[in-house]
A and B are shown apart, each in its own frame.
Chain A
């Protein structure tokens, strides 16, 4: 049984159908990426899984739980943490407080191991714990957003455009970190505009076009696929 099973999901913004029946699955331990152009529905898919948006039709299963029937604030308790598009850190709170909020649902009191893990992955975060999160640079904010999600100790990490707006060297760093996180045993569902990088670290991928999945394969095969190369990898 896959860790996450999305089946026939239709999500609407008002009367606009943004997802027209999405079916996808994520196996434990994988990195799966959703690629596609602007407006294809990548972010909508993640937001629907995370419970920010509610599908009008379809089911999303995580283990035995049906996420479409789970209140939005309970979804993180099922082991899903979301690092959203645009980072959405709590800008007026300190870096440390942002991490604490990431661990809000954790009832076990000893979080030192989790903090250490975040500090090891992102040494820069450790230097800035007392600083207001809004004063961090874009790259640091991205690290904080991922670190905050990790504090929930999720089984599935939803990452939305982690490379957006970052300098190339930071993009490298972020993708390397995603691999490290995956190596720690966490499953990753990654949404990226940067299809080239995403396919280079993912196991499998789905290609979205105007709310439907048009193609799915192993990341390696997708990177070789002619349609993908033309449309998303900028080759002709």
Chain B
């Protein structure tokens, strides 16, 4: 939500707060908005970690969860103050183009628009880049080590706080990119947007297996498919019922997720 507001504010400042009078897609402005939202969300995440999670590093598991809810309330209220209580229109700046009807001349109910392509073209490279960072870089290896065994990571000489900060930065950068995608795709935003998105992101992560990046991507894909099918066959008001029933089912029957592993792997 704050990411979409950052995009919206950036676009407004650049004179693209609405698509009215805009004839062709201002790619440079979208690029700047993307950059602004990524940096904004990244730094915000780092700040939240420093204030709300780091002091609780040694506290029981429940404590950071509670402070996370507190942080989300603060964010929601910042959003309320920033853009007001009513839904805001997000400019529709991408080309209106449907590949299936306009390129292939097929007139069906199925559509694959430029918007769909845009989301894929941005999300897939970002996912690959994330996977590469985690797999191959020194920081990525440190991240995995800290996730598995914080105490031994310290013994290896890893600055655990720095690694966790970096992880939050990465998460924020990606959330910023996601917010531009959401805004351009749905053309609206509202201060409570993040609540649903957060629950869905959590469901996707649980579905794929917590701590597994490709699992989270797969989980997001399955979740999206399920929510689209629920909306189509049962109606929009059933979407969250479908999504969260899935969450409950996963937690009850396969808490490790689709690609997750049992945590007791310390031989």
How many interface residues does A have (CB within 8 Å)? 31
How many interface residues does B have (CB within 8 Å)? 21
Is A220 engaged at the interface, CB distance under 8 Å to the other chain?
no
Is B156 engaged at the interface, CB distance under 8 Å to the other chain?
yes
Supposing A100-B141, A136-B267 touch, asked if A93 and B148 sit within 8 A by C-beta, the answer is yes
Is A52 engaged at the interface, CB distance under 8 Å to the other chain?
yes
Is B197 engaged at the interface, CB distance under 8 Å to the other chain?
no
Contact residue among B138, B141, B157 (Cβ-Cβ distance under 8 Å from A93) = B141
Report the Cα distance A101→B146, complex, angstroms: 11
Contact residue among A88, A91, A141, A152 (Cβ-Cβ distance under 8 Å from B157) = A152
Residues 129-142 of A, flagged 1 when their CB comes within 8 A of B and 0 if not, give 00000111010010
CB contacts (< 8 Å) of A76 on chain B: these are 155-157
Q: Check B148–A73 contact: CB distance below 8 A.
A: no
Number of A-B contacts (CB under 8 A): 75
Q: Check A74–B141 contact: CB distance below 8 A.
A: no
Q: Check A104–B157 contact: CB distance below 8 A.
A: yes
Query: By DSSP majority rule, is chain B's interface helix, strand, loop, or mixed?
Result: helix
Q: Nearest Cβ distance between residue A114 and chain B, in whole angstroms?
A: 14
Residues 91-119 of A, flagged 1 when their CB comes within 8 A of B and 0 if not, give 11100010011101100000000000000
CB contacts (< 8 Å) of A88 on chain B: these are 149, 151-152, 266
Q: Check B158–A104 contact: CB distance below 8 A.
A: yes
Q: Which residue of A lies closest to B152 (CB)?
A: A88
Q: Which residue of A lies closest to B267 (CB)?
A: A134
CB contacts (< 8 Å) of B151 on chain A: these are 52, 88
- CB-contacts of B138-174 with A (<8 A): 138, 141-142, 144-145, 148-149, 151-160
- CB-contacts of B91-128 with A (<8 A): none
CB contacts (< 8 Å) of A138 on chain B: these are 267
Q: Nearest Cβ distance between residue A125 and chain B, in whole angstroms?
A: 16
CB contacts (< 8 Å) of A84 on chain B: these are 152, 155
CB contacts (< 8 Å) of B265 on chain A: these are 91-92, 134
CB contacts (< 8 Å) of B153 on chain A: these are 73, 101
Contact residue among A72, A101, A136 (Cβ-Cβ distance under 8 Å from B145) = A101
Q: Nearest Cβ distance between residue B186 and chain A, in whole angstroms?
A: 37
CB contacts (< 8 Å) of A74 on chain B: these are 157
Report the Cα distance A74→B160, complex, angstroms: 11
CB contacts (< 8 Å) of A75 on chain B: these are 155
Is A51 engaged at the interface, CB distance under 8 Å to the other chain?
yes
Q: Check B158–A134 contact: CB distance below 8 A.
A: no
Q: Check A90–B145 contact: CB distance below 8 A.
A: yes
Q: Check B155–A50 contact: CB distance below 8 A.
A: yes
Q: Nearest Cβ distance between residue B138 and chain A, in whole angstroms?
A: 8
CB contacts (< 8 Å) of A50 on chain B: these are 155
Q: Which residue of B lies closest to A86 (CB)?
A: B266
CB contacts (< 8 Å) of B142 on chain A: these are 101, 104
Q: Check B144–A93 contact: CB distance below 8 A.
A: yes
14 of the cross-chain contacts (CB-CB < 8 Å) are A51-B155, A73-B159, A90-B148, A90-B152, A92-B261, A93-B144, A104-B156, A104-B157, A105-B157, A134-B265, A136-B267, A138-B267, A152-B156, A152-B157
Given contacts A73-B154, A101-B145, 5 further A-B contacts (CB under 8 A): A51-B154, A51-B155, A91-B148, A101-B158, A134-B267
